[in-house]
A and B are shown apart, each in its own frame.
Chain A
Amino acid sequence: MNRLSLIIFLALLVGAPGALAHPWHTSFAELGWNDDGDTLEVSLRVLPEDLETALTWRRGETVVLADNPDVRSQTLAYLAERFLLHSESGEVFRPGRLLGMEIGHDAAWLYFTIAADTGLRLSLYNAVLMDVEGTQTNRARPLWLAPRDTLLFTAARPEQSLWQGR
């Protein structure tokens, strides 16, 4: 039997600033390979309040989303759990470096890289913020594909084929 892995809830008094009658929660990622073709470069846009909630739950105390070394380190650790590349043979490639963050009211952009073996067929597991909202919808656009080939990740389908190998 599987054990539910639950996130310890911290009573957070901050409401979701964008809350509406039908709240919706989305993220968007642009994905591209670096010039050497061995590292996935990711620009990930999330709702700042959702990321703050996720980091707060993960840490067990209030985290204020700001661009400083501590929050960067927590964010990278969070991404390492929820934004991964898998090979068919089970290898896992995790975000290794968070280059920076741009935090605003309407969005927080996270810039990070994942070194991977691009000789392999890879799938992307993108469960970012699905621990905060069950209705979270994550979109990712591989820049080497046509615009309509955007990938959609939901709680029911958090993993999608991304790369067919060189």
Chain B
Amino acid sequence: MHPTRTALGLLALLAFSISPTLHATDRQSGPEKFAQLDYLLDTPTETRLASGAPGPVYWQQRADYDIEVTIDDRAQRLIGRETITYHNQSPHSLRYIWLQLDQNRFRPDSDDMLTKTAPDFEQFPYKTLANLLTRQDFEGGVDLKAIEDANGKALNYTVNKTMLRIDLAEALAPGEQFRFSVAWEHNIIDATAVGARGGYEYFEADENYLYEIAQWYPRVAAYTDYQGWQNKQFLGNGEFTLELGTFEVAITVPADHIVAATGVLQNPGDVLSRKQRQRYEKAQTSTEQRFIVTPEEAKQNESSRASVKKTWRFRAENVRDFAFASSRKFIWDARMAKSGSRDVLAMSFYPNEAEPLWSQYSTPAVAHTIDVYSRFTFEYPYPVSISVNGPVGGMEYPMITFNKPRPYKDGTYWDVRQKPDDKTWERSKYGLISVIIHEVGHNYFPMIVNSDERQWTWMDEGLNTFLQFVTEQAWEEEYPSRRGEPEKIVEYMISAPQVPIMTNSESIYQFGSNAYAKPATALNILRESIMGRELFDHAFREYATRWKFKRPTPADFFRSMEDASAVDLDWFWRGWFYGTEYVDVAVDNIALYQLDTGNPEVEKAWQKTQKDEREPTLGQQRNAEAETLLQRYPQLRDFYTESDEFSVTPWDYAQYEQLQQSLTDREKALLSVDKNFYAVTFRNIGGLVTPLPLRITYGDGEVEELQIPAEIWRRNANEVTKLFITDREITGIEFDPYRSTADADTANNAWPRKPETSRFKLFKEKEEPNPMRRDEQEKWEQPIY
């Protein structure tokens, strides 16, 4: 690079340093990208404050449940009766109450079925066929037997697909309660054939069933200040949001079944053997994992066929839902885990088919999740946390999660017989650990921080996947996380069609990438590259604490993160959550400017050096030996052929003297500064604004790293020129050396350009066999161990 000597003088130089290149068409893009969110967010109220915190008049409803449920193990049918006490804590009178009947999703005429589009018959996976046929034959849906008030008087009601409206004889005034009961039955679906959030698995070898029961009882829909009734139909993707309350649930199952459920077992004396009871009590104070039902006992139990039933009673406080699992095949282990100062009983329930993976990793993963999540949010407020293996995977409910991964039928997992340095076997281990971390993590988002999954999937899946990544990385060094690192989101960010993260749950394209991976990555970038860990962790914890057992909306999250950190992030939310642009920054141009001191001795010497350093052209080189006319006829020489253009003349000195007299002492001192001025132009190709993490290499080999905040794009989001003033020569500049921004095209990230090799070529270079292995195909294809 040839430097340019600026002859504009000091004031002009300073002006140059702050003036970015502006094009008429670009002027709006920067301000638009950095505009405050304002109209995109709900107007703050005394219910939801501008700070993002719940306000002084914040309210939410409450529903308490008393449920008796029986599992018919012969017919795979559920029979239930519930009494609901609904507390109207809103300032509004209610003339009706909406309930969710999620099981109606399995009716043949449900919206879920009717809106399914035809499969592509060229691409017809078995699962799709099995799902369609099972759904077509399954007699699903809720069979309502009775809906009565507290006095046993029938209530008027209307079923609208997956929603049930109960009409009240008199409006329920603010502060009043309404008690009513619902009796119902429904068939339990085969969850191995249909993608369901609950159902059964049949084990042909021993003719046993394993039930995971979820979204099973008529549940009071949420009534909120921001939405009114949340009566969106259940189509399968948007999960749910419900009211918090206390549950008393009596679960009647065959006497040889073991039951795991939300809440604390109230009657161990009635349902556990003496030995099991002793083990259960011991586990509650033990940091060492213990079996309450051993693998051998569970195996023996498989051949049992109890003719009588037992009723397991559970109580759960401050939960928004209740789920349970039941089977005679369950192994049961437990240990005490710590969440800050609180003790939590971490437990796992699984059949022998899940061994040897489950006894080794499930309960430790539960305990680890509670430990890490508690540090990033709040202490786990519930007494138990359970991981269950069955046909559903994974799915989360308060205190209980369903996690599907299992080893092979022969007890091996991903071929443990392989050579020790082969990583293949690790997949199911990490798959299991990751899914447990994710599902147990959902206790925090959205079971406790009660966001609305039917509206904004990312509020729980995204935040949870972010903390899942943090928790995985705390499990062991280089844990093979599938999501979280910025470079892993690039392929989605550049793909189309795409919709913003803020899209409603049922309308999202590329669901997993949109609602899980992108927000998780965005938060990771926010933490590592924009806010820094200290500010981010404080703000994130503040958000979680503010909304613990309350209902946040996206605006509450965005505002809380800014309120608690003093970082204006509107540009970030706008770009990552409301937009579909991606990061691709190019280091486009570098110009070196050095100061014109005005001193003719300095400047002319510098000009001479510049001229001398220029390589002669090819013509000049080839003509060097040839005699010129001037050499032949010296009489042609005159003043101009003899004078040295770089010699300093009295006129030059006079000009310099004049300049010196016009400057103040401070300006004179500045002119004598010996600095390099590098103007580096960055082009924003992807559109999404980003900080500029840079690595600068100097001529003496030293390396400096710095980060320019994203606000550099606030006036012109397409192109900016940044001035670097240095003592030393810069020999290289690299954008995003640590792959921290999700930059889509790294080929244009460096000056001078670094050649990029495709993944294929890299592999080929690595994989080419050495010459001794090239003779026979068998040799070169044989892996080297």
Contacts and interface: CB of A to CB of B under 8 A. Distances in A.
B273 to A, nearest CB: 30
B194 to A, nearest CB: 13
B121 A18 contact: no
A26 interface: yes
Chain A interface: which size bin? 35 or more
Contacts of B121: 2, 4
A134 B516 CA distance: 19
A43 B409 contact: no
B307 interface: no
Interface string B419-447: 00011101110111011001100100000
B415 A18 contact: no
A33 to B, nearest CB: 10
Nearest to B759: A43
B409 A13 contact: yes
Nearest to B479: A105
Q: Which has the most chain A C-beta neighbours within 10 Å: B396, B415, B494? A: B494
Interface stretch (B74-82, B123-131, B566-574): B123-131
Contacts of A9: 126, 130
A106 B481 contact: yes
Nearest to B236: A22
Interface string A1-44: 01011111100011111111111101010101000000001110
B125 A134 contact: yes
B414 A64 contact: yes
Contacts of A5: 124
Given A6-B124, A18-B431, A137-B510, A32 B424 contact: no
Contacts of A127: 122-123
A69 B782 contact: yes
B764 interface: yes
Interface in B571-612: 582, 584
A143 B763 contact: no
Contacts of A65: 424
Q: Is the interface of B mostly helix, strand, loop or mixed?
A: loop
A90 interface: no
A76 to B, nearest CB: 11
Given A22-B516, A105-B427, A139-B495, A17 B435 contact: yes
A20 B125 contact: no
Interface string B492-509: 101111000000000000
Interface in B370-419: 393-396, 404-409, 413-415, 418
Given A106-B481, A152-B497, A18 B125 contact: no
Contacts of B584: 147
B568 to A, nearest CB: 28
Nearest to A13: B409
A72 B491 contact: no
Nearest to B396: A21
Contact of A148 (B418, B496, B758, B760): B496
B457 interface: yes
Interface in A120-138: 127, 130-135, 137
A102 B408 CA distance: 22
Contact of A49 (B126, B129, B431, B512): B431
A100 B763 contact: yes
A147 B494 contact: yes
Given A30-B758, A64-B414, A4 B124 contact: yes
B124 A106 contact: no
A80 interface: no
Given A66-B415, A150-B494, A43 B763 contact: yes
A103 B513 contact: no
A75 interface: no
Nearest to B438: A20
A13 B192 CA distance: 10
Given A4-B124, A21-B394, A150 B510 contact: no
A148 B492 CA distance: 10
A66 B424 contact: yes
A1 B760 CA distance: 42
Given A20-B438, A105-B431, A148-B494, A66 B408 contact: no
Interface of A: 2, 4-9, 13-24, 26, 28, 30, 32, 41-43, 48-49, 57, 62, 64-69, 72, 99-100, 102-107, 109, 111, 127, 130-135, 137, 139, 141, 143, 146-148, 150, 152, 155-156, 158
Nearest first, the 10 closest Cβ-Cβ pairs linking A and B are A17-B431, A24-B512, A15-B404, A130-B123, A105-B480, A43-B759, A19-B393, A41-B760, A147-B744, A155-B123
24 contacts: A4-B121, A4-B129, A9-B126, A13-B408, A17-B432, A22-B237, A22-B515, A23-B195, A24-B510, A26-B513, A28-B491, A41-B758, A41-B760, A48-B427, A49-B427, A57-B126, A68-B783, A72-B781, A109-B763, A111-B760, A127-B123, A134-B123, A134-B125, A139-B495
Given A22-B457, A48-B427, 18 more contacts: A8-B126, A14-B406, A14-B413, A24-B516, A30-B758, A30-B760, A32-B761, A43-B758, A57-B126, A67-B783, A69-B778, A69-B782, A100-B767, A102-B763, A105-B431, A130-B120, A134-B119, A150-B496
Interface of B: 119-130, 195, 197, 237, 239, 353, 393-396, 404-409, 413-415, 418, 422-424, 426-428, 430-432, 434-435, 438-439, 442, 457, 461, 480-482, 491-492, 494-497, 510-513, 515-516, 582, 584, 686, 744-745, 758-761, 763-764, 767, 778, 781-783
